Amino acid sequence: MSIEIKEVSSKKDIKKFIKFYTDLYKENKQVAFPLHLDEQKCLSDENPALSFCRVKYFLAWKQNKIVGRICAIINTREQKKINKKIGRFGLFDFIDDKNVSHLLMEKACEWLKSEGVDIVHGPMGFTDMDRQGLLIEGHDRDGTMATNYNFPYYEMHIDALEFSKSTDWIEFLLYPEEKVLSRIGKLSSRCKKIHNLRSVYFSSRRELKKHADEIFSLINDSYKDLYGYIELDEAQKKYYTKTYLSFVNLKMIGVVMDHNDKIVGVGISMPSFTKALQKARGKLFPMGVFHMFRALKKNDCADLYLIAVDKEYQGKGVNAIIMHDITKGAFDLGITKAETNIELEDNKKIHQMWRFFNGEQHKRRRCYIKSL
């Protein structure tokens, strides 16, 4: 039966593009389904990243049924930063049919080549703040809101398309204990005393958001040399402040200031939304919003999203202050385990933080690359 690849050209098609993922994984028990409304926002002009990204979306059709999708991306800031004619692919999902994955990738690469691209890597989003990487280890573990889940057969399809490894991200599952909190607390107190630092506790999200620009500037400076990271501009800072900082649990935030009231460290985590997203199945209404708000208040798992430390203070114990404050907040909420989400496999400074905790490295994701 013939397979037809069609470019997405309408809002109606975008909805079909988004819904295909939910339909493909409807029987799966591990996936944390992305909310359709969030996906629509991300793929629309509301996302400031689209001001510097050129994008094409394609769907694969077979017998009047969608059987695959792919997004081709040219991040012009990435090209300028690394001085290469590089492109990205993402949102690459398909049934277990190599003809489908081949034709989708062929169409995406055809457009990228027509735009002057000679290298493509992925799965990537528009920026480093989007979901990225192909899950190659840990298919039996639950996904998280910050990561995509994919079937094991995806890896064989990517290999058949003659991509090679560019980098890997790994993830850890941690089990905080009271004795760990005590040990980190001693390190935290020592660091504060030696370097004249202090923890900052916010009484409201409004108060936290007053520091949003400084927080995202610190993230930019800390992450700028990491694989695939493109510094956030002012529009993106406002976008992510509204998207994420508007509903964080303040007990799950760690912020460190120096004696000049400058933020030198920040850690952002949240109670896990995995079970809520599994129940919502992409729909925020009518019950999805209830499950999401319930997850903020009653949960046994946390998701660690990011940690950033001023380069002047790296290696001086600021991580211990952040982790102590977040771990203490987690205990107050009854949380007994935490997902680190993705960390580059060669980012040893981050991995060292988890040496205090019982846990395991339980997932691995890969970014692939290919010359066109």
> How does residue 288 score in pLDDT terms, banded at 50, 70 and 90?
confident
Q: For 217-242, what is each residue's pLDDT tens digit?
A: 999 999 999 999 999 999 999 999 98
What is this structure's pTM? 0.94
Contact at 8 Å (CB) between 313 and 265? yes
Alpha-carbon gap, residue 226 to 210, rounded angstroms: 27
3-state secondary structure of 234: helix
Q: Which of 90, 76, 74 is nearest to 39 (CA)?
A: 90
In the chain, the number of structural domains is 2
Determine, yes or no, domain membership for 215: yes
Q: For 8-49, what is each residue's pLDDT tens digit?
A: 999 999 999 999 999 999 999 999 999 999 999 999 999 999
Which of 169, 200, 218 marks a domain boundary? 169
User: Is residue 272 packed enough to be buried (19+ CB in 10 Å), middle (13-18) or exposed (0-12)?
Assistant: buried
* Same domain, yes or no: 214 and 307: yes
* Same domain, yes or no: 276 and 262: yes
3-state secondary structure of 313: helix
Identify the pLDDT of residue 347: 87
Mean pLDDT of the chain: 94
Identify the pLDDT of residue 11: 93
Q: Tell me, rounded to whole angstroms, the distance of Cα 303 from its chain centroid.
A: 11
* Same domain, yes or no: 182 and 319: yes
Determine, yes or no, domain membership for 88: yes
Determine, yes or no, domain membership for 371: no
Identify the pLDDT of residue 208: 93
Q: For 149-185, what is each residue's pLDDT tens digit?
A: 999 999 999 999 999 999 999 999 999 888 888 889 9
Which of 132, 151, 169 marks a domain boundary? 169
Contact at 8 Å (CB) between 175 and 300? no
* Same domain, yes or no: 152 and 184: no
Alpha-carbon gap, residue 69 to 104, rounded angstroms: 7
* Same domain, yes or no: 165 and 220: no
* Same domain, yes or no: 206 and 287: yes
> How does residue 244 score in pLDDT terms, banded at 50, 70 and 90?
confident
Identify the pLDDT of residue 122: 97
For 122, the domain range is 4-169
* Same domain, yes or no: 225 and 312: yes
Determine, yes or no, domain membership for 227: yes
* Same domain, yes or no: 83 and 186: no
Q: Tell me, rounded to whole angstroms, the distance of Cα 225 from its chain centroid.
A: 17
Mean pLDDT, residues 362-372 taken together = 97
Mean pLDDT, residues 181-199 taken together = 93
> How does residue 297 score in pLDDT terms, banded at 50, 70 and 90?
confident
The beta-strand segments (E) located in the chain are 4-7, 53-62, 65-75, 86-94, 119-122, 134-137, 164-175, 198-200, 253-257, 263-271, 301-309, 337-339, 343-344, 358-371
Contact at 8 Å (CB) between 74 and 53? yes
Contact at 8 Å (CB) between 61 and 45? no
Mean pLDDT, residues 272-289 taken together = 92
pLDDT above 90: percentage of residues in the chain: 84
User: What CATH number has the domain bearing residue 160?
Assistant: 3.40.630.30
Q: For 56-96, what is each residue's pLDDT tens digit?
A: 999 999 999 999 999 999 999 999 999 999 999 999 999 99
Which of 169, 197, 230 marks a domain boundary? 169
Determine, yes or no, domain membership for 369: no
The 8-class DSSP code of residue 64 comes to T
